[in-house]
Chains A and B, each alone.
Chain A
């Protein structure tokens, strides 16, 4: 009985390590292929459009509402000891350091991370990846590298936009709906927020951009078992990336400050 438990735990641990090893291997391969010609700028731009431009709407939408709800929550919380005036600062700080990067990453993950896994997974099971290899084209260079760089480049941008519209949403709720003095709102915000807060948010978003594209690519690339396999790869990619994003934000927060 005890040995069986050890056996099962051991096998799980091994599976986990081999998965982690595979992901790291893909990361290093991508880095190596990034600096090997030919450079596939067209693929990169296409992926930047897919990950960046097409996520814009959802990122703006979630940004506005995060800002609004943050403003509302902090108003009710701080009113208890007369600290409503801190609202501008609280909203901006939470958005820049935590909400902005995490919400953006989770939304882009749901939209683009899953799509990446599904697309590469379909290409795998319909032998399109084999066909690339057959034509003497490295699939990691052709498919994975542009997606990873698109994620790393676009996530900070999307995050910045998310934070900005979040602040606008917070301003709307605080100043227009709850009648906080606009001068005070802006003043507190500018006083409380420092450059390092913004840097922290952006550093996180770069890391999240890497995580969600890398895991999406890894899961898609290693799909097996037909249409069912593609479904499985997609779900796993989204779940694993989301968990990594949430664990990652904790780890990064404690490392950066």
Chain B
């Protein structure tokens, strides 16, 4: 279970998170929705300790990650996989090297075992045999899938997705959603997904929470969420514009 308690975070004079509290259950998919620039990526980076809060606590199971020494924090991080918004593939390395990278860093493997692990991960995202390609030669959708393969390289039990489908066409979006659902089920992972895409949100979510003005203003199962009487939530779901959402 991941718990964020009373998180505050500002960048210079800009308050991004204000007294945010959130509980993310294990073994399920929780989707965070909210406006662009609303602090969703910042929230996600807090969970992994990439950004430290100005105040507040972040618990991963029974460990408060801002109390940890770097070495222990790194041990916790190995449980995480993260798919970054633009993939964040190392563009000086080939696809195969990208996927092999975390394995090579953290596991003892022979060359052959490593090659096998890499092709397995690539097969998982439906991209067998492209090890030799460079990231710059791939389409946006392929790059995201390679990034997913790399994020799963160390068999994480918590996966974080930062807008996995933004900028993809509907068919690719469905494919990525399918991938998320399948891998979540297969490995019983805890997934945290940021998304703008309402269709895709209802496809993958066990829980939905909405971030607005630095706080979680609504949360619950998709059914509960659909029934929400909160004006912001309804506006967001219907994709409509109203005075008070500006």
- A residues with a Cβ closer than 8 A to B are 123, 126-128, 130-131, 133-138
Closest residue of chain B to A135 (Cβ to Cβ) is: B102
B78 within 8 A of A: yes
- Pairwise interchain contact B86-A127, C-beta atoms closer than 8 A: yes
Instruction: Report B-chain residues with C-beta under 8 Å of the C-beta of A126.
Output: 86, 88, 91
Closest residue of chain A to B86 (Cβ to Cβ) is: A126
Question: Please, how many angstroms separate the alpha-carbon atoms of A135 and B76 in the complex?
Answer: 10
- B residues with a Cβ closer than 8 A to A are 45, 48, 50, 70, 74-75, 77-78, 80-82, 84-86, 88-91, 101-102, 105-106, 154
- Pairwise interchain contact B74-A127, C-beta atoms closer than 8 A: no
Interface centre among A126, A127, A131 (most CB of B within 10 A): A131
The total number of A-B Cβ pairs within 8 Å is 43
Instruction: Report A-chain residues with C-beta under 8 Å of the C-beta of B154.
Output: 135
The contact sample of 21 A-B pairs, CB cut-off 8 A, is A123-B90, A126-B91, A127-B86, A127-B88, A128-B88, A130-B45, A130-B84, A131-B82, A131-B84, A131-B90, A133-B48, A133-B50, A134-B48, A134-B50, A134-B81, A135-B77, A135-B101, A135-B154, A136-B74, A136-B78, A138-B70
Instruction: Report B-chain residues with C-beta under 8 Å of the C-beta of A138.
Output: 70
- Pairwise interchain contact A134-B90, C-beta atoms closer than 8 A: no
- Pairwise interchain contact A136-B106, C-beta atoms closer than 8 A: yes
Instruction: Report A-chain residues with C-beta under 8 Å of the C-beta of B45.
Output: 130
A36 → chain B closest CB, angstroms = 10
Closest residue of chain A to B70 (Cβ to Cβ) is: A138
B124 → chain A closest CB, angstroms = 18
Tell which of A127, A128, A134 touches B77, judged by Cβ atoms closer than 8 Å. Answer: A134
- Pairwise interchain contact B80-A134, C-beta atoms closer than 8 A: yes
Question: Please, how many angstroms separate the alpha-carbon atoms of A123 and B89 in the complex?
Answer: 9
Question: Please, how many angstroms separate the alpha-carbon atoms of A126 and B89 in the complex?
Answer: 9
Question: Please, how many angstroms separate the alpha-carbon atoms of A136 and B49 in the complex?
Answer: 11
- Pairwise interchain contact B106-A127, C-beta atoms closer than 8 A: no
Question: Please, how many angstroms separate the alpha-carbon atoms of A3 and B90 in the complex?
Answer: 49
Closest residue of chain A to B79 (Cβ to Cβ) is: A136
Question: Please, how many angstroms separate the alpha-carbon atoms of A137 and B45 in the complex?
Answer: 16
Question: Please, how many angstroms separate the alpha-carbon atoms of A115 and B70 in the complex?
Answer: 30
Question: Please, how many angstroms separate the alpha-carbon atoms of A121 and B101 in the complex?
Answer: 21
Shortest Cβ-Cβ A-B pairs, 9 listed: A136-B74, A127-B88, A131-B88, A135-B102, A127-B84, A136-B77, A134-B82, A128-B88, A136-B78
Instruction: Report B-chain residues with C-beta under 8 Å of the C-beta of A127.
Output: 84-86, 88
Question: Please, how many angstroms separate the alpha-carbon atoms of A137 and B78 in the complex?
Answer: 10
Closest residue of chain A to B77 (Cβ to Cβ) is: A136
- Pairwise interchain contact A137-B105, C-beta atoms closer than 8 A: yes
Instruction: Report B-chain residues with C-beta under 8 Å of the C-beta of A133.
Output: 48, 50, 77
Question: Please, how many angstroms separate the alpha-carbon atoms of A135 and B84 in the complex?
Answer: 12
Question: Please, how many angstroms separate the alpha-carbon atoms of A126 and B162 in the complex?
Answer: 13
New contact pairs (20) apart from A130-B84, A134-B82, A135-B102, CB-CB < 8 Å: A123-B90, A126-B86, A126-B91, A127-B84, A127-B85, A127-B88, A128-B88, A128-B89, A128-B90, A128-B91, A131-B90, A133-B50, A134-B48, A134-B50, A135-B106, A135-B154, A136-B75, A136-B77, A136-B78, A136-B106
Instruction: Report A-chain residues with C-beta under 8 Å of the C-beta of B70.
Output: 138
Instruction: Report A-chain residues with C-beta under 8 Å of the C-beta of B89.
Output: 128
Instruction: Report A-chain residues with C-beta under 8 Å of the C-beta of B102.
Output: 135
Instruction: Report A-chain residues with C-beta under 8 Å of the C-beta of B75.
Output: 136
B146 → chain A closest CB, angstroms = 12
Instruction: Report A-chain residues with C-beta under 8 Å of the C-beta of B88.
Output: 126-128, 130-131
Question: Please, how many angstroms separate the alpha-carbon atoms of A104 and B45 in the complex?
Answer: 41
A211 → chain B closest CB, angstroms = 25
Closest residue of chain A to B90 (Cβ to Cβ) is: A128
Interface centre among B82, B88, B102 (most CB of A within 10 A): B88
- Pairwise interchain contact B105-A135, C-beta atoms closer than 8 A: yes
Question: Please, how many angstroms separate the alpha-carbon atoms of A133 and B48 in the complex?
Answer: 9
Question: Please, how many angstroms separate the alpha-carbon atoms of A135 and B91 in the complex?
Answer: 16
B214 → chain A closest CB, angstroms = 20
Question: Please, how many angstroms separate the alpha-carbon atoms of A127 and B88 in the complex?
Answer: 5
A170 → chain B closest CB, angstroms = 41
Instruction: Report B-chain residues with C-beta under 8 Å of the C-beta of A128.
Output: 88-91
A122 → chain B closest CB, angstroms = 8
